[in-house]
Structure 1
């Protein structure tokens, strides 16, 4: 899970919500009077961009979606294995291109509509038949990452669609047909972006009517005010002005009912302010705990949960932005110049490690035998000289006003990496930009960036979700065209035999590190913290924590 795609301006929505301070105070009063506390105020680093997960890729939008919506399959609690969701079981045909899903019965959407096979097909047909701005990669990023194109591509650059059709065989049986075998299926279907929405609400609130322009996208009211799923919580209100988003228990949920009545997400962009709000009791939890705060908060008795490291921080090199960067020797020099171990030791949390591949070593396909670029400033200087680039100047973009699981303090990371580059004679032009949309616009499109750092938290436990997301086709972030590498990705993805596919991913990881489109920097185990009396939540490597089981200890 990366950041939101760039060029998205969210239309303002003013929906009444309870003021967070009042809710937090009420929560404390309930506790002091001896009654059961049932409202959790959670501090988040940024506002969600949109409430329709089909149109989202940012962490805060997907955090909300995971509590309100459900998918056909979902990750195991605390892990990455595919387990039942709205589907109880799934089976491929002999060719591996059609999957039959047996659905749960007795499930209803939050608006009272029935969940059934026709509802599933209505959702897939909506995505597949998208038109206009719904085909923009800024609007349907995950559909395009997983499925490619649409029924009728309006941009010739879009690839053919992996998805072919959805057939409701009966109320609880649905066939999903694909154009070829793909390693992404069924695991990718547990992404929140493939959440199943109420067809009634989608129609009532014109959910696919995305307006505006590519530079100024206007979302329909469904995506901002009426998200309707089947989950244990349902949407209540979004107060944009007061930076609060409120969800409440779905008392008609088919499974175990949520123990909390209300969850309020409160945007507090400053990490220290989130920490102080927790200590004062104004919030009862927050994500992305600073590495230096983990042990102190534990000693104070707070419930600190550390997620397994299922992410990657990387330094991206844009070969299109600066012709010198198309020289492999220059890219190798940059890699040898970076003291990544020093960064891990000084700026990242305990358990962080230097990255060898662009994916964690817990993902099948990881290859320990790739070309390694250990810290060697003298070799970096030699390579720059051989490339005629001893006076190289690079525009180094880094983000401000953001904290990410793989990137706890961007300015500190920038200062360390830029010092390493300067030490080997590379001139660095610092370009700090606000995370969204400025930084994302500058680094994932166009050719004005030379180097920058960004990262990814895995969505599911498959190598393609990491390296395929980055390198399976030509992309503006990296600015290179390598048909041979792209062909290797297509071959690996269409390999039906899992063992053979893993070996092809290993070969891909070796090819990537030889080509060196960027430098994998580190993997970090991010932490999430809750108040001393909050229990029942299990850390997830996919940030798929389940708040339905959360409660306050009496």
Structure 2
């Protein structure tokens, strides 16, 4: 393939317990935020979906995080172009001998965009704010549940224990157990630092359940962060989010003063707008367009495949799915190889497990369930599930790195399922218009399409995210006889300090998930791309799809 590619993916291999950092954050020198007469003051980027809100604690999707990571920063960050952790608001950190206490040495002279000082008290305020979520806030704060477990009203299940401001520049965070994920998870957007003043004044924790979703406080649409940009406006009617340079930013000013995210759900329309010059770039171009986009002079950066698309199953909603034979029948029924070949780019592959090969703990001996409709029919007959019905959902108004065209993928799999006698009821909803809530909070579908792009290189970030929380996972494993075992085994594996032992434990778990449990069907791993016009410079594609825009310029 002749396309331009992103920088190589550098994967973390050191266990969190041995990880310390003291290097200063590397930043390109700027010209004062677009001061050059040769560059524009505004960069316009085509987003595939609308953000749900701007308080990252309650965010769950990539389109929201694309915006919030320009506004907010965390104690740890990710080195551009890699999956490696680097210093951000903490300049260095180290664990105690037992790995249960972590000391963070903070960057000095830093302020939030409202002028509030960033210090150890601010760190502890943020950690306690997240830990002390109540009611609907606990349900909405899904990333906390995924990575930290429970909240202060159920401390036995929490990874987080406490935070102490040792002095203004030193915060000590205690955890309840050793894990390969801490402190790496502090690089996630959801755990960014926000202004204690603004959080308090905006009643930021006042989340309320409403119907199938939530209502959020005013603060969620008026965030105060510490990043290179701050929110100027969100025009829902014109589908634009406008960010402007944060004058209080501690680092080099953004090279472009104004950053506009123009929400364009349709990929064809995004390409047309790039060609017309009304946007300067967009994410997730259709794979069939990559070569043509480059031939037209654009820069196409292809990221590594650090993701998984899966078909989720809900045995609580549809009891027939409790039978392993039925779940296996669905796996045999899907012609995943044909879907990958016809709809995904070169470099995509059929998945045998719920994590990509680059992640430690991947079981190389596993093979994907082959396409075998006759075997599927036989298993359905043995299970007494011939002619069963399946409510099968897909999202609209979005493209994801692992799912460039959800409707086409859904149509292909619907055809496969109906061919073996399964009656499919098609359901769709907008990505941030009910779909994610229906999957995660409401368990509304028998089967659905969803996926995951890794936040960092750890098996726990994939398997733990999906299955560790017995009570709250999307696959409803709590109704399965093996659900508790899987949850406990994942937590035990994550606590293993020795890398080789931990990898072996995850390999065994992957084997059991594929052969004994099969809570869903892993579909594929797909390398997503990012395209910008030839006038754009300085945008580094991230294997985590976690790009920042403060280093980007657009020539006039």
- Distance of aligned partners of 1:113 and 1:431 in 2 relative to their CA distance in 1, 3 Å threshold: closer
Contact persistence 1:133–1:214 (CA under 8 A)? no
1:443-471 per-residue CA deviation (whole Å, 9 max, x = no partner) reads: 33556522221111112211111111111
Are residues 1:61 and 2:58 paired?
no
Higher mean alpha-carbon deviation, 334-343 vs 416-425, is at 416-425
Higher mean alpha-carbon deviation, 450-459 vs 493-502, is at 493-502
Aligned equivalents of 1:547 and 1:399: distance in 2?
Answer: 27
Paired residue for 1:134? 137
Are residues 1:73 and 2:76 paired?
yes
Are residues 1:110 and 2:113 paired?
yes
Q: CA deviation at 1:193?
A: 0.8
Task: Report the aligned-residue RMSD.
Answer: 2.2
Q: TM-score, normalised by structure 2?
A: 0.88
Contact persistence 1:235–1:247 (CA under 8 A)? yes
1:64-111 per-residue CA deviation (whole Å, 9 max, x = no partner) reads: 111111111111211112111111111111111111111111222112
- Distance of aligned partners of 1:352 and 1:210 in 2 relative to their CA distance in 1, 3 Å threshold: same
Q: CA deviation at 1:55?
A: 1.7
Paired residue for 1:506? 507
Instruction: Determine which of 193, 203, 221 is the counterpart of 2:200.
Output: 203
Paired residue for 2:298? 302
Q: CA deviation at 1:257?
A: 2.2
Paired residue for 2:150? 149
Contact persistence 1:314–1:518 (CA under 8 A)? yes
Query: Unaligned regions of 5+ residues in structure 2, if any?
Result: 1-33
Paired residue for 2:27? none
- Distance of aligned partners of 1:340 and 1:195 in 2 relative to their CA distance in 1, 3 Å threshold: same
Aligned equivalents of 2:213 and 2:519: distance in 1?
Answer: 31
1:477-505 per-residue CA deviation (whole Å, 9 max, x = no partner) reads: 32333222122112112223333222211
Aligned equivalents of 1:68 and 1:448: distance in 2?
Answer: 33
Aligned equivalents of 2:280 and 2:475: distance in 1?
Answer: 40
Instruction: Determine which of 446, 450, 462 is the counterpart of 1:450.
Output: 446
Aligned equivalents of 1:378 and 1:216: distance in 2?
Answer: 41
What secondary structure does 1:184 align onto?
coil
Aligned equivalents of 2:549 and 2:362: distance in 1?
Answer: 32
Contact persistence 2:212–2:438 (CA under 8 A)? no
Q: CA deviation at 1:360?
A: 0.7
Aligned equivalents of 2:252 and 2:153: distance in 1?
Answer: 41
Q: CA deviation at 1:208?
A: 2.1
Contact persistence 1:356–1:368 (CA under 8 A)? no
Are residues 1:519 and 2:496 paired?
no
- Distance of aligned partners of 1:214 and 1:502 in 2 relative to their CA distance in 1, 3 Å threshold: farther
Aligned equivalents of 2:90 and 2:292: distance in 1?
Answer: 42
1:383-414 per-residue CA deviation (whole Å, 9 max, x = no partner) reads: 22322333333222222232111111112111
Instruction: Determine which of 462, 475, 487 is the counterpart of 1:478.
Output: 475
Contact persistence 1:133–1:213 (CA under 8 A)? no
Aligned equivalents of 2:117 and 2:452: distance in 1?
Answer: 36
What secondary structure does 2:74 align onto?
coil
Aligned equivalents of 2:433 and 2:425: distance in 1?
Answer: 21
Q: CA deviation at 1:176?
A: 0.4
Aligned equivalents of 2:373 and 2:233: distance in 1?
Answer: 54
1:107-163 per-residue CA deviation (whole Å, 9 max, x = no partner) reads: 22112222111111111111112233322x1x211111111122224xxxx962211
Aligned equivalents of 1:476 and 1:35: distance in 2?
Answer: 51
Instruction: Determine which of 164, 168, 176 is the counterpart of 1:167.
Output: 164
1:271-328 per-residue CA deviation (whole Å, 9 max, x = no partner) reads: 2221111111111111121122211111101122222111111111222233322221
Contact persistence 2:213–2:434 (CA under 8 A)? no
Contact persistence 1:86–1:103 (CA under 8 A)? yes
What secondary structure does 2:220 align onto?
helix
What secondary structure does 2:157 align onto?
coil
Are residues 1:468 and 2:464 paired?
yes
- Distance of aligned partners of 1:109 and 1:510 in 2 relative to their CA distance in 1, 3 Å threshold: same
Are residues 1:495 and 2:496 paired?
yes
What secondary structure does 1:77 align onto?
coil
Contact persistence 2:309–2:525 (CA under 8 A)? yes
Are residues 1:52 and 2:48 paired?
no
- Distance of aligned partners of 1:447 and 1:285 in 2 relative to their CA distance in 1, 3 Å threshold: closer
Are residues 1:86 and 2:89 paired?
yes
Aligned equivalents of 1:231 and 1:550: distance in 2?
Answer: 15
What secondary structure does 2:162 align onto?
strand
Are residues 1:543 and 2:539 paired?
no
Paired residue for 1:24? none
